[in-house]
């Protein structure tokens, strides 16, 4: 062993045979001496990750081109036939096809979606319209079948419980409009198929459910096609005389021309046509008065909450003017609202706390529901707090969330307002607000406005 200058490491002298052996096997090469640690292989992406990567690439590569995106999404369905995202991807293809104005692709996709959701009303309507647009008999026969399925679904919906968050009048109106639109849609397809007898029958059913000028015009067209001038004239008069919101002047002018030409087939001039139209208008105004009357106009012109006259769930009246001079705790609620139920129970306890205080009044105000629903709920839940229906009081006070608690002082001013409920602080907070309002002077009597 030899050291050089005492600073460098010693050089090891190998016998020549051993030297060549080490050289041949690479033991003396620096790069061979430093062996690499093998890298841990990355785990293969999961099926979900592969799907996400494929979809990300599809969106990037086809940005702004609905047709290209549809092609990529179809490729996705081929590559991942068992994907849990299948319905989601199909709905995206459907939207893209609609945006691309590709009725054939949209119709085909709507039918594939209906295999997954066979009673989806919006898909049934879409399939009906899209297949009808294709113009051939086979497609229109399929469209007619889908329209019938839609009507069957609507009939079934009528027997199902009303959604708890939808007022009864709105629920009934939606059912009416769905039936009317279903008969109209099927009638239109039948008319395009040349089945005039079936088309007229469906148009008449639609009009009976919900009279409209556009349906009356279609009935007139069918009768004119069949040479039934008398009935065509009758329907055109109705279409012209029936006021319909949103009817364009051009459409009304078109009905006017049809009416005139049909009338002249039976009369030498238009003399007497005006009287016929006025008589029909008076008849329709009388028959459809309830539909043209704005619903729930109670208290519409009242601007002072204490000028409102409200109804209890049993139909009897409550004049808020009778509460003047009191501290009024007013709770806006609905039966479907879980936090409202909790607030009602806590409010009941507070009402008992102030039972001996005649200057404090509690009132719960139901928003957006019918009296039958509220009556049933109050009986089932033993709801004993005085209750009234909102009848536009919620609009005046701009109630935007449920529950909302409003406290009026003895002057009739709002001194406390709270949306939602904090169960831990609710009782203490409301008691404090009421007691702070009690010492205030009583407002002078004033007439309801």
CATH among 3.60.70.12, 3.40.30.10, 3.40.50.2300, 3.50.50.60 for 306-437:
3.40.30.10
Residue intervals of the chain classified under CATH 1.25.40.10 are 51-234
Query: What local confidence, expressed as pLDDT, does residue 10 receive?
Result: 39
CATH among 1.10.3720.10, 3.40.1190.20, 1.25.40.10, 2.40.40.20 for 51-234:
1.25.40.10
Q: Residue 238: which residues within 8 A CB-CB, separation 6 or more? A: 211, 213, 216, 280, 284
Is pLDDT above 90 for 404? yes
Question: What is the helix (H) or strand (E) element at residue 278, kind and residue range?
Answer: helix 273-287
pTM of the model: 0.59
Quickly count: other Cβ atoms within 10 Å of residue 402's Cβ: 20
Residue intervals of the chain classified under CATH 3.40.30.10 are 306-437
Q: What is the mean pLDDT of the chain?
A: 85
Mean per-residue pLDDT for 326-351? 93
With cut-offs at 50, 70 and 90, classify the pLDDT of residue 145.
very high
With cut-offs at 50, 70 and 90, classify the pLDDT of residue 171.
confident
Mean per-residue pLDDT for 110-122? 93
Interatomic CA distance for residues 130 and 77, integer angstroms:
23
Mean per-residue pLDDT for 31-55? 68
Interatomic CA distance for residues 390 and 372, integer angstroms:
14
Query: Any long-range contacts for 116-121 (C-beta under 8 Å, 24+ apart)?
Result: 116/86, 116/87, 116/90, 117/87, 118/149, 119/149, 119/153, 119/156, 121/150, 121/153, 121/154, 121/178
For the segment 216-268, what is each residue's pLDDT rounded down to a tens digit? 999 999 999 999 999 999 999 999 998 776 677 888 899 999 999 999 999 99
């Amino acid at each position: 062993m030899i050291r050089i200058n005492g600073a460098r490491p010693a050089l090891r002298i190998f016998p020549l045979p051993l030297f060549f052996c080490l050289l041949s096997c690479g033991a003396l090469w620096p790069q061979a001496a430093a062996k690499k640690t093998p890298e841990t292989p990355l785990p293969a992406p999961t099926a979900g990750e592969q799907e996400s990567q494929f979809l990300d690439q599809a969106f990037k590569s086809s940005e702004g081109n609905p047709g290209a995106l549809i092609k990529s999404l179809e490729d996705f369905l081929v590559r991942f036939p068992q994907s849990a995202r299948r319905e989601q991807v199909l709905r995206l293809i459907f939207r893209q096809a609609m945006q691309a104005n590709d009725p054939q692709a949209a119709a085909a996709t709507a039918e594939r979606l209906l295999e997954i959701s066979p009673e989806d009303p919006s898909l049934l309507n879409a399939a009906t319209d899209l297949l009808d647009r294709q113009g051939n008999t086979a497609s229109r026969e399929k469209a007619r079948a889908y329209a019938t399925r839609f009507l069957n679904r609507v009939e079934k919906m009528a027997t199902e419980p009303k959604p708890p968050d939808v007022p009864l009048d709105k629920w009934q109106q939606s059912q009416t409009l769905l039936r009317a639109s279903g008969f109209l849609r099927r009638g239109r397809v039948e008319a395009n198929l040349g089945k005039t007898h079936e088309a007229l029958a469906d148009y008449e059913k639609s009009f009976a459910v919900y009279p409209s000028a556009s349906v009356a015009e279609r009935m007139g067209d069918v009768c004119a096609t069949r040479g039934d001038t008398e009935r065509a004239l009758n329907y055109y008069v109705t279409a012209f005389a029936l006021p319909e919101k949103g009817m364009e002047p051009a459409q009304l002018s078109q009905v006017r021309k049809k009416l005139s030409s049909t009338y002249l087939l039976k009369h030498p001039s238009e003399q007497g046509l005006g009287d016929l139209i006025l008589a029909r208008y008076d008849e329709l105004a009388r028959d459809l008065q309830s539909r043209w009357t704005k619903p729930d106009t109670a208290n519409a012109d009242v601007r002072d909450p204490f000028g409102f006259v409200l109804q209890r769930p049993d139909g009897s009246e409550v004049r808020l003017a009778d509460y003047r001079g009191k501290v009024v705790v007013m709770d806006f609620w609905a039966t479907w609202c879980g936090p409202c139920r909790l607030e009602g129970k806590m409010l009941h306890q507070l009402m008992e706390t102030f039972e001996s205080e005649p200057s404090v009044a509690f009132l719960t105000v139901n928003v957006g529901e019918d009296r039958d629903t509220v009556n049933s709920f109050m009986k089932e839940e033993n709801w004993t707090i005085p209750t009234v229906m909102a009848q536009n009081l919620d609009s005046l006070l701009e109630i935007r969330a449920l529950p909302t608690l409003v406290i009026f002082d003895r002057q009739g001013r709002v001194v406390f307002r709270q949306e939602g409920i904090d169960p831990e602080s609710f009782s203490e907070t409301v008691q404090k607000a009421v007691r702070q309002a009690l010492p205030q002077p009583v407002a002078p009597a004033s007439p309801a406005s």
